[in-house]
Structure 1
Amino acid sequence: MMPLKVCSLFAGIGGIDLAFKQSGFEVVWANEFDKDACKTYIHNFPDTLLSECDIRKVNAKDIPDFDILAAGFPCQSFSVCGNKKGFADERGNLFFEIMRIGGEKQPQIIFLENVANLTEHDNGKTFNRIHNELSERNYYIRYIIADACNYGIPQHRTRTYIVAFKDFDMCNKFQFPKEQPLEKHIFDIIDRSVKADDSFYLSENSLQYQKMKAAITDENQIYRFSDYGIQKSKDGISFTLKANMGTWHNRVPIVKDDFGIRTITPKECLALQGFPKSFDFPDIPMKSMYKQCGNTVVVPVVKDIIRELVRIANDN
Structure 2
Amino acid sequence: MRIASFFAGAGGLDLGFQRAGFDVIWANEYDRDIWETYAKNHPHTHLEKRSITAIDPTEIPDCDGMIGGPPCQSWSTAGKLRGINDNRGKLFYDFIRILEEKQPKFFLAENVAGMLLPRNSEALNSIKKLFKNAGAGYDLSFQLINARDYLVPQDRKRVFFIGYRRDLGQRFEFPEPIDMKLSLKSAIGDLQDLAIPARDGNYTNGRACRVPNHEYFTGGFSSLYMSRNRVRSWDEVSFTIQASGRHAPLHPQAPKMEAVDKETRRFAKGSEHLYRRLSVREVARIQTFPDDFIFYYKNLAAAYKMIGNAVPVRLAQVIASKIMADFG
What is the TM-score with the length of structure 1 in the denominator?
0.84
- With over 3 angstroms needed to count, the CA separation of the structure-2 counterparts of 1:121 and 1:285, relative to structure 1, is farther
Q: CA deviation at 1:266?
A: 0.8
Amino acid at match of 1:301: L
Cα separation, partners in 2 of 1:80 and 1:62, compared to 1, 3 Å: same
Indicate conservation of the 8 Å contact 1:7/1:69, yes or no: yes
Instruction: Kindly state the Cα deviation for residue 68 of structure 1 after the two structures are TM-superposed.
Output: 0.3
Q: How many residues align?
A: 287
**Structure 1 position 45, deviation (Å):** 0.5
CA contact (8 A) 1:141 1:163 kept: yes
User: Can you list the C-alpha shifts for 1:21-76, whole angstroms capped at 9, x where unaligned?
Assistant: 11111111110011111111011001110011111111211111111010111111
Q: CA deviation at 1:126?
A: 1.8
Q: In the alignment, is the contact (CA less than 8 A) between 2:41 and 2:294 conserved in 1?
A: yes
Aligned partner (choices 177, 180, 190) of residue 182 of structure 1: 180
Contact 1:74–1:94, Cα closer than 8 Å, also in 2: yes
**Runs (4+) of structure 1 moved beyond 4 Å?**
none
What residue in structure 2 maps to residue 286 of structure 1?
300
The residue number in structure 2 matching 1:58 is 55
AA partner of residue 240 (structure 1): T
Deviations 1:208-254 (A, max 9, x none): x9x99xxxxxxxxxxx9725144233651111011122xx3x64533
Which residue number corresponds to residue 277 of structure 1? 291
Structure 1 residue identity aligned to 2:287: Q
Deviation, 1:153, is 1.6
Structure 2 gap ranges (5+) = 200-217, 255-272
- After superposition, the Cα gap between the structure-2 partners of 1:5 and 1:164, relative to the gap in structure 1 and judged at 3 Å, is same
Does the residue aligned with 2:155 lie in a helix, a strand or coil? coil
Change (3 A) 1:60 1:284: farther
- The separation in 1 between residues aligned to 2:72 and 2:284, in whole angstroms, is 19
**Aligned residues with identical type, % of pairs:** 30
The structural deviation recorded for 1:19 is 0.7
Is 1:232 equivalent to 2:231 in the alignment?
yes
Residue equivalent to 2:69: 72
Per the normalisation by structure 2, the TM-score is 0.81
**2:255 is equivalent to residue 241 of structure 1:** no
- Kindly provide the CA deviation profile for residues 96-135 of structure 1, in whole angstroms up to 9, marking residues without a partner as x: 1101111111111110100112233525212211111112
Name the amino acid aligned to 2:230: Q
Q: For residues 257-279 of structure 1, give each alpha carbon's deviation from its aligned partner in whole angstroms, at most 9, with x where no partner exists.
A: 8x954322111111101111111
Alignment of 1:88-103 (within 5 A): 88-103=85-100
Aligned match of 1:166: 165
Give the C-alpha shift of residue 136 in structure 1. 1.9
Contact persistence 1:14–1:296 (CA under 8 A): yes
Q: How does 1:60-209 map to 2 (within 5 A)?
A: 60-122=57-119, 124-137=121-134, 138-167=137-166, 170-172=169-171, 174-191=172-189, 194-199=192-197
Match of 2:311 in 1: 297
| SS across alignment from 1:309 | helix
**Quick one: structure 1 residues 286 and 305, their matched pair in 2 at CA, closer, same or farther if it must change by over 3 Å?**
same
1:306 aligns with 2:316: no
Q: More helix per residue: 1 or 2?
A: 1
1:31 aligns with 2:28: yes
User: What amino acid is aligned across from residue 265 of structure 1 in structure 2?
Assistant: S
Distance in structure 1 (CA, Å) of the matches to 2:70 and 2:226: 27
Matched residue, 1:8: 5
Aligned equivalent of 2:276: 262
- Aligned 8 A contact 2:109 2:161 in 1: yes
Contact 1:43 1:281 in 2 (8 A): no
Partner amino acid, structure 1, of 2:58:
K
Inter-CA distance 60–149: structure 2 relative to 1 (3 Å threshold): same
Alpha-carbon distance in 1 for matches of 2:32, 2:187: 29
User: Which residues of structure 1 form unaligned runs of 5+?
Assistant: 202-208, 213-223
Q: Is the 8 A contact 1:226 1:251 kept in 2?
A: no
Asked if 2 retains the 8 angstrom alpha-carbon contact of 1:225 and 1:231, the reply is no
